[in-house]
Amino acid sequence: MAEYDMLVIGSGPSGRRAAIQSAKLGKSVLVVDRGRRLGGVSVHTGTIPSKTIRETVLNLSGLRERGFYGRGYRVKQDIGAADLIARLQKTLDHEVEVLQHQFMRNGVRSLRAVAKFADANNVDVETEAGEKSRIGFRHALISVGTKPFRPANVPFDGKHVFDSEDILELPRLPRSLAVIGGGVIGVEYATIFSALDVPVTLIEPRQTILDFIDRELVDEFIHEMRDRGMTIRLGTAVKEIVSNEKGAEVHMADGRVVRVDVVLYAAGRSGNIGSLNLDAVGIQSDERGRIKVDPHTFQTSVPNIYAAGDVIGFPSLASTSLEQGRVAACHAFGIALPPAPETFPYGIYAVPEISTVGLSEAQVREKGIAYEAGVARFSETSRGHIMGVGSGFLKLIFSLENRRLLGAHILGEGATELVHIGQAVINLQGTVDFFVENTFNYPTLAEAYKIAGLDAWNRMGGARAEAAALDQPAA
C-alpha cells in the first residue's frame, strides 16, 4: 500500500499551496481530486472563469471607453456566448498547464479519484473506472471546497434556471436576466451581464447587499448600477421560481412577478463533504457542510487531519485559501510561522470593481475610535482623465490618536490592484504622514492615495498643526 507524508484531497487553491509547500519541505505528497482536470472550483467554475468572462466583456463591450465615446460605443457589435467561451477555454487551459507543471517540478503526485476516509491514517480512493485502492498518510488536508446551494424547490434546468457553475455553459446570451442573491457571486455576474446591456434584475431578501463593505462605497455602487439601468429589488423574499417554454418567472413574497429569459440562482454554497465519510474519523460539520478548525493551525478535531479553503467557511476566497494551505502544511511539518496579519484585502470583481482592506467607517465607530477620513475621486486624478474614468473613489480612514491608517476602501477601475498599497501601509503600521511625505508616480490612479491622504491630513490640522508646533517655544 502506498503511503504519503501529506495527502491532499482537492486541488483548489488551498490544496495546491499545501501540496507544493509540503514538497518544498522534502515530503512525499499525493493530491487526490475527482475533477476531470486539476485546479478546483477556482480554476474551472469559480474565480478564473468569472474573472475571464468579466475581462472579455469589458474588452468587447468597450465599456471602459464609454466615458469618451458615449454610452452607445461598442468594440464588437454582436457579442455572443461563443465570444465569452473562446477566451475562457484558453485561459483555463493555461492555468491547468501551469499547475500541472508546478506539481511535476516539485514532485507532487496527483490522482483523479474520489477520496473517502477509512480511518485517521488511511483513505480509500476510487477512480472513475471503478478501481479502488487504499492509501496511507501521516497528515491529510481536506480541501474539497464547496458547491452551489441548490434548494429542492428551485427548478434548475440548464435552460432558463442556472446556478453559478452551469451558467458557464449558457448556450446564448440571455435576453433578460434575474439574479437571485446579492452576495459576491450574484453582484459580480449581475454587473457583468449588465455591462453587455442585458436587462438585469438583482433580487436580495435582505435590505442591503455586501454588508461587509463600507456603506459609502455600497451606496455609490448601487447608484451606479441603477444608473446603468439595472433593477435592484432589496428586502423581498423569493416565493417560487417557475420555468416554462418561454423563460422563467420569479414570484416574490410581496406578490410581484419578475419575468425573464434566464434566472441565475446564487444564494450561497455548501461544503463538498458528502463523499468523505467523515464519520470514520469523527470530524463534525455544520448544516452547510463546513468543518471547524483551529484558526491558527487549520487542524480539525483530529490533529493530523487539517482542513482549509472554502470547506472551513469564512472568508471563502481563493486568496485566503492559498495562504491557509501553506500555513497548514508548515504546521504539519513543524515549521514555526509568525502570526498571520489581522487584515487581508477583499476584491469584488463587479463592474465597477470594489476592494477594501481594514476597518470600515461603521466598524471604527463601533469600536469608539476617534478618526478622520480622506477621500479622493478618480476624476480628480490626471490618470483618471486620460482613461476617461467618470466615477470611482478612494476613501482612507485614519486614527486621530496615533495617525495610523485603519482602512482603505476603493470603488472603481483598478480597485483590486490599488488596495495593496493600503494593505501594506496598514500592516506596516504606517500613518497619514506616509501619504503626505511620499511622492507618487504621476499620472496614476494610485495618486488618489496622495490626494486622499492630504485630504485627511488637512482635516487633521495638516500644515497648520505643524506650523503651530514649530511656533511653540522650546520647553
Ligand X SMILES: NC(=O)c1ccc[n+]([C@@H]2O[C@H](COP(=O)([O-])OP(=O)(O)OC[C@H]3O[C@@H](n4cnc5c(N)ncnc54)[C@H](O)[C@@H]3O)[C@@H](O)[C@H]2O)c1
Contact at 8 Å (CB) between 210 and 354? yes
- Distance, in Å, from the CA atom of 259 to the CA atom of 473, rounded to the nearest integer, reads 74
Per CB under 6 A, 162 contacts ligand X? no
* Contact flags string 257-276 toward ligand X, x per CB under 6 A: ---------xxxx-------
Stretch that binds ligand FAD, among 27-35, 66-74, 387-395, 407-415 (CB under 6 A): 27-35
Stretch that binds ligand FAD, among 29-37, 133-141, 244-252, 386-394 (CB under 6 A): 29-37
Closer CB to ligand FAD, residue 143 or residue 356? 143
Partner whose footprint covers residue 186, from ligand FAD, ligand X, none (CB < 5 to 8 Å by kind): ligand X
Stretch that binds ligand X, among 165-173, 199-207, 285-293, 325-333 (CB under 6 A): 199-207
Which DSSP letter does residue 270 get? E
CB of 189 to ligand X, least distance (A): 9
Contact at 8 Å (CB) between 196 and 57? yes
Per CB under 6 A, 316 contacts ligand X? yes
366: phi then psi, degrees, rounded to nearest 5: -55, -35
Closer CB to ligand FAD, residue 158 or residue 388? 158
CA torsion angle 254 257 262 263 (round to 10): 10
Cβ burial, residue 35 (10 Å; 0-12/13-18/19+)? middle
Q: What spatial distance separates the first Cα and last Cα of the chain, rounded to whole Å?
A: 79
Closest to 428 measured CA to CA, from 370, 368, 357:
357
CB of 177 to ligand X, least distance (A): 15
- Distance, in Å, from the CA atom of 177 to the CA atom of 258, rounded to the nearest integer, reads 10
Per CB under 6 A, 256 contacts ligand X? no
- Give 89-134 as a DSSP string: HHHHHHHHHHHHHHHHHHT-EEEESEEEEEETTEEEEE-TT--EEE
- Distance, in Å, from the CA atom of 468 to the CA atom of 349, rounded to the nearest integer, reads 45
CB of 249 to ligand FAD, least distance (A): 25
Closer CB to ligand FAD, residue 310 or residue 372? 310
Partner whose footprint covers residue 329, from ligand FAD, ligand X, none (CB < 5 to 8 Å by kind): none
Counting residues that bind ligand FAD (by CB under 6 A) gives: 39
- Can you tell me which of 4, 8, 12, 371 binds ligand FAD, judged by CB under 6 A? 12
Partner whose footprint covers residue 181, from ligand FAD, ligand X, none (CB < 5 to 8 Å by kind): ligand X
> Does an H or E element contain 459, and which?
helix 447-459
Per CB under 6 A, 345 contacts ligand X? no
Closest to 421 measured CA to CA, from 448, 461, 393:
448
Closer CB to ligand FAD, residue 265 or residue 349? 349
- Distance, in Å, from the CA atom of 400 to the CA atom of 260, rounded to the nearest integer, reads 51
The 10 Å Cβ neighbour count of residue 339 is: 6
Distance of CA 162 to the CA centre of its chain: 20
Closest to 177 measured CA to CA, from 118, 108, 265:
265
437: phi then psi, degrees, rounded to nearest 5: -85, -25
Partner whose footprint covers residue 268, from ligand X, ligand FAD, none (CB < 5 to 8 Å by kind): ligand X
* Contact flags string 231-250 toward ligand X, x per CB under 6 A: -------x------------
Closer CB to ligand FAD, residue 277 or residue 458? 277
Please report, as residue ranges, which positions from 164 to 193 form the binding site for ligand X (by CB under 6 A): 180-186, 188
> Does an H or E element contain 405, and which?
strand 405-411
Per CB under 6 A, 317 contacts ligand X? yes
Per CB under 6 A, 414 contacts ligand FAD? no
- Distance, in Å, from the CA atom of 409 to the CA atom of 404, rounded to the nearest integer, reads 15
Measured from each CB, the residue nearest to ligand X is 183
- Can you tell me which of 53, 145, 162, 192 binds ligand FAD, judged by CB under 6 A? 145
- Can you tell me which of 221, 349, 398, 449 binds ligand FAD, judged by CB under 6 A? 349
Q: Which residues bind ligand FAD (CB under 6 A)?
A: 9-15, 32-35, 40-42, 46-47, 50-51, 114-115, 143-146, 164, 185, 272, 275-276, 309-311, 316-319, 321, 347, 349
Q: Which residues bind ligand X (CB under 6 A)?
A: 180-186, 188, 204-206, 238, 266-269, 315-317, 347-349
